[in-house]
Amino acid sequence: MTYSSMISGYAKVRGCDRAEELWRSMRESRVRPNVVTYNALLDARVNDQLAQAEELLGEMKQEEVSPTVVTYNALLKGLAKASLPSAARQLLQELPSRRLEPTAISFNTCLDACGQAGDVKAAREVLQASGGAAQRISHAEVIQVSSQVAHWSFPTDQGAYWAVAQVST
What are the two backbone dihedrals, phi and then psi, of residue 165, each rounded to the nearest 5 degrees?
Answer: -105, -60
* Cβ pair 116, 81 in contact under 8 A: yes
- HSE at residue 67, side-chain half, CA atoms within 13 A, is 29
Q: Determine the pLDDT at residue 159.
A: 34
Q: Determine the pLDDT at residue 46.
A: 85
Relative to beta strand 149-151, strand 166-167 is: antiparallel
Q: Determine the pLDDT at residue 92.
A: 93
Q: Determine the pLDDT at residue 19.
A: 82
- Residue 166's beta-bridge partner residues? 151
Q: Determine the pLDDT at residue 130.
A: 80
CA distance 167 to 150: 6
Domain boundaries, the chain: 1-67, 76-169
pLDDT of the chain, 169 residues: tens digit per residue: 587 788 888 777 766 788 888 888 888 999 888 999 899 888 888 877 888 888 888 899 899 999 999 999 999 999 999 989 999 999 999 999 999 999 888 988 998 899 888 888 888 888 888 875 655 555 555 555 454 444 434 444 333 333 333 333 3
Model pTM above 0.85: no
Q: How many residues does the chain have?
A: 169
CA distance 135 to 66: 29
CA distance 109 to 151: 22
CA distance 111 to 123: 6
Q: Determine the pLDDT at residue 15.
A: 67
Q: Helix, strand, or coil here: 97?
A: helix
